[in-house]
Amino acid sequence: MPDTSLLAIALGLLYLGSAACIYRILLTYRTTQGAIAWIISLLGLPYLAVPLFLVFGRSRFGGYVKARRMGDKTLTALLNRFERKSTSLSLPDQQQLDNQLQVLCKLGRQPFTEGNRCTLLRDGEATFEALIKAMEQATSYILLEFYIVRSDKIGQRIKSILEHKLSEGVQVWFLYDDIGSFGLSRIYLRELEKAGARVASFGDGDIRRLRFQINFRNHRKLLVCDGKIGFVGGINLGDEYLGTAMDQEPWRDTHCRIEGPAVTGLQLAWLENWNWASNEFPVLDWSPEHRLPGDERVLVLPTGPADTWETCTLFFLNCINNARTRLWIASPYFVPDVQIVNALQLASLRGVDVRIIIPEKSDSRLVRLAAYSYLIQASHAGIGIYRYQPGFMHQKVVLVDNHYAAVGTANLDNRSMRLNFEITAINTSERFVSEVDAMLREDLAHCRRMTEQDYQGRSIVFRLTCRAVRLLAPLL
């Protein structure tokens, strides 16, 4: 028979841990629904809720915030220098941007710049061709930051190019996410390091940063070569984007190649994450371009759980609330919270053409089921939800009126809004907006518009399952 005194001590420690978790929730919660759910669980089932909270519960990335403050002087100096560039359109004494664009500058702590040229890359083949060409032409350094890196054919080709450039004296900094790249071979990383690359994982950092957390992922996908050419979008380093992985259909995704001063914004976002992961500030090229490659206005908007505000949520709300004629959003994961749903409904009710493009085939059955639960609210407001039919659509694209288009890594789900580090490039160029318009129209031609009957016509078991899965939205 167990010792009752030991059992009492164990229970006391358990409830003490539960109380500590509740204390943290009350100090840091962002949504009342999530806070109440956690508190009820911690009081009623502490033996389950305490360990779950340690893994999933935190909503603020405290360690990153501290690292940001420690490096803030250096980063602030670089940001100030960036804003003083002659290409900046976001200085206080300038009136070249309307209010909704000025707000985005404040959210991202970065300026809109002019003199850029962006190339829309509409699939994995075009993206990898452009990435590889840029890396092969690099003469000084290559910065990589990807959520998923695989040691498959594409991954091996990228590694081979990096090793070759290292042998030529080009510096390489390689940042990956340890959860997203869970299956990445240790041999792959060791060989890169042996060739001279600096390699860091976003998740572990040094021993002081070890934690029982799988949240706060670095979901960004970017590449910078020599501070002059940059890439951002939804494509990771893996064969699935070419359809060569296990006879899989190609993933439909979008990336963007950027030349010009906006590349500095990508480089700054990379530097902050690299500093967190390695405690290093590499010496990079921050000089403005003397000969500007184009005439496009571009803002790089980094977002993440260490921000003062819920930057990603505010970005989407800004897009939705300021749309006047149309709002088209492509996202592989559609599990929005109440405020996003309400904003979408209001936009549609005031006459905006609201279309949400999501995949028919998904890599997450739970997310696919949850999307059905929004059909009633969407159809009653006139919101069009379209399911892309061929392959798996993984792009993250926003088109607001004919005003601007955004290509990046952020999804319409809780993880992107509150837990992941994301990055988006926003472009106001008429040419670029027109290209995104044509691309999304082609995608819509391969879509099926969902109706209320897609949900109401299914069995009660299916509908209950969809509603139950939606309760898991904060974790999806």
Of 396, 403, 413, 443, which residue is the catalytic one?
A: 396
All structural domains of the chain, each given as residue ranges with its CATH number in brackets, are 4-57 (no CATH), 63-90+117-294 (3.30.870.10), 311-475 (3.30.870.10)
pLDDT over 50 at 245, yes or no? yes
pLDDT in tens, 70-93: 556 777 777 777 777 767 776 555
pLDDT over 80 at 384, yes or no? yes
Q: Is 285 a catalytic residue?
A: no
Which of 234, 329, 223 shows the shortest CA–CA distance to 266?
223
Phi, psi of 422 (to 5 degrees): -125, 170
Phi, psi of 203 (to 5 degrees): -80, -35
Of 85, 165, 221, 403, which residue is the catalytic one?
A: 221
Please state the rounded mean pLDDT for residues 391-407.
Answer: 95
Q: Is 66 a catalytic residue?
A: no
Q: Is 401 a catalytic residue?
A: yes
pLDDT in tens, 114-156: 899 999 999 999 999 999 999 999 999 999 999 999 999 999 9
Q: How many CB atoms lie within 10 A of CB 306?
A: 20
Token representation of residue 109: 């702590």
What is the distance of C-alpha 252 from the center of its chain? 17
Q: Is 221 a catalytic residue?
A: yes
Of 219, 228, 255, 403, which residue is the catalytic one?
A: 219
Q: Is 394 a catalytic residue?
A: yes
Q: How many CB atoms lie within 10 A of CB 247?
A: 6
Q: Is 290 a catalytic residue?
A: no
Which residue bears the tokens 């989407």? 316
Please list, in sequence order, all residues whose beta carbon lies within 8 angstroms of the beta carbon of residue 208, skipping any fewer than 6 positions away.
none
Please state the rounded mean pLDDT for residues 107-111.
Answer: 87
